[in-house]
Amino acid sequence: MKIESIRKYRPFPKVALPDRQWPEKEITEAPTWCSVDLRDGNQALPVPMTVEEKLEMFDLLVGVGFKEIEVGFPSASETEFQFLRRLIDEDRIPEDVTLQVLVQTRRHLIERTFEAIKGAREVIVHIYNSTSTLQRKVTFGDATMEDIKAIAVEGAKVVKELVPTIPETKIRLQYSPESFSDTELDFSLEICEAVMEVWQPTVEDRMILNLPATVEWTTPNVHADQIEWMCRNLKEREKVFISLHTHNDRGTGVAATELGLLAGADRVEGTLFGNGERTGNLDIVTVALNMNSHGIETGLDFSDLPRLREVYERTTRMVVPDRQPYAGELVFTAFSGSHQDAIKKGFDRRDKETKENDAIYWGVPYLTIDPVDIGRSYESIVRINSQSGKGGVAYILDKDHGFDLPKTMHPQVGKRIYDMADERGSELSPDEVGAAFREQFVNVQTELELLDYELDHHVGERGEVGCTAKVRRKGDELTLKGVGNGPINAFVQAMSSQGWKDFVLTDYRSHSIKGGSGADAAAYVQLRKDDGSIIWGAGVDTSIELAGVKALVCAWNLLR
């Protein structure tokens, strides 16, 4: 903003709470969760869900484990009314799930709402009216605090009056001083206690006071101060559940909720992936999985997050951003070489330690949770582009292609692969990484080609073998013979007899290729030239011995 624009704004006032307790608290258990996807989330959609889509979303929310679900604003439209009636008439509501309906504090709207909920086992009737200084001044034309309080009290009275008209349905009351986030705290307290006085909650049958950050005006710590102030000053606090309903105007809705829980709240309203008005509601998925990552059970099951995302995106026509916590396409993806290397080392160490101790705690650098726990896969964790490093390439070759490269081979292979990505200016897929590795480092036969190779175990001294190899060098076919203490050494001696040995063989490894046909073996040979430079080559064959010889030929060619 320009300086002249900034002058129109002012700081949000602090809360007078010098002995605040929440900074020393710790979240140790989950709150009661209430999904508002079908009301707050639905009303924020450019194209609202159809009844059939809402039914699918309701079933999804039940499957996740929500026990309280706000299903809409049945007095607002016939579609909303009929959706609720289908839930009740078709017996779609599990015994342990409570519906919540929203309604303004106006008699005819409350009466219509009671028509909609008739026959349900238990319903939370959620009434609200705007209370903030700004709303009183602008929306209600300089209404007084007494005017606003009277609206809330009258609404509570109408609900209480109508309860006997549907005796088969248990009614719980929820009141929201809408725009609590910028309402004077003493007035919020006064109006909430006035509604409590009408409803007369008990310890055994509490009502809900929902304190919404309808607009996020300030930092999360001030929100926590507001919640703690209300919890500490409210009469008969034990007779109510304090509920949070944060929005995300400043991008800190999750933080505000977590601090609000520290401040004493019992309940949280939100939506899957934060769908809601303006910048959205609270993302319940994030808050719940944050708790899971600290070992706290939440009662919500996000073990198949990709399926939830698919249903959500299809029914709401919204898109989960690539960087959305936990659910985004790229959140378990590492492009940085140092990150890739650390992740690979973390998985390798965990694999080793898990074999020794089933109760090992999660600990992989850069990954706060195990992607498998939410239905994601390891395959997408490492991606290769020009910013990648040796560890990421080695990880892809190991997990996707079964090549367990020697540690000292990583730099040579990693540099060549990410140089290719740099030349292309784009990311390389795991398949492309595997193809590039095979082309550049496996069975490379350029200057020297191995045409045939036979071993003879009956030549030389005990422990030695002989080899006869047919090769082609620069177009000329030759037959080489050599004797050594193994297949590779015998071939080295055969090369030496031709004056081709300008190297020292310094390392050799081999293994069966993981995830392959079960018959393929991979071998790796490191050669050092007289000038000190080293090179690795790899060989693949159904014979482990021939794979080693092919790796030697490959490395020799790469030295050229």
More confident residue, 421 or 183: 183
Contacts of 77 (CB under 8 A, 6+ apart): none
CB-count burial class (<10 Å; 0-12, 13-18, 19+) for 530: exposed
Instruction: Read off the pLDDT of residues 429-454 as tens digits, 9 standing for 90 and up.
Output: 889 999 999 999 999 999 999 999 99
User: In this predicted structure, which of 148-152, 308-312, 411-415, 534-538 has the lowest mean pLDDT?
Assistant: 411-415
Contacts of 395 (CB under 8 A, 6+ apart): 340, 343, 344, 347, 381, 382
DSSP string, 244-259: EEEB-TTS-HHHHHHH
Topology annotation, domain 448-559: Double Stranded RNA Binding Domain (3.30.160)
Quickly count: other Cβ atoms within 10 Å of residue 3's Cβ.
Answer: 6
Report the C-alpha gap between 155 and 174 in whole angstroms.
11
Q: What is the pTM of this model?
A: 0.78
β-strands 240-246, 68-72 pairing: unpaired
| CATH of the domain spanning 31-316 | 3.20.20.70
Q: Is the pLDDT of residue 524 over 60?
A: yes
Contacts of 387 (CB under 8 A, 6+ apart): 335, 336, 337, 418
Domain limits, the chain: 31-316, 337-441, 448-559
User: In this predicted structure, which of 168-172, 271-275, 399-403 has the lowest mean pLDDT?
Assistant: 399-403
Tokens 């790229």: give the residue: 330
Q: Is the pLDDT of residue 350 over 90?
A: no
By 3-state DSSP, what share of the chain in percent is helix, strand and coil, each rounded to 5? 45, 20, 35
Residue 389: per-residue pLDDT: 65
Instruction: Read off the pLDDT of residues 142-152 as tens digits, 9 standing for 90 and up.
Output: 999 999 999 99
DSSP H or E segment with residue 451: strand 448-456
Q: Is 272 helix (H, G, I), strand (E, B) or coil?
A: helix
CB-count burial class (<10 Å; 0-12, 13-18, 19+) for 474: exposed
Class of the domain covering 337-441: mainly alpha
Report the C-alpha gap between 392 and 398 in whole angstroms.
10
8-state DSSP, 354: H
- Cα angle: 493, vertex 494, 498; to 5 degrees: 110
- CB 556 within 8 Å of CB 495: yes
Residue 135: per-residue pLDDT: 92
DSSP H or E segment with residue 202: none
Residue 382: per-residue pLDDT: 62
- CB 199 within 8 Å of CB 205: no
Residue 421: per-residue pLDDT: 83
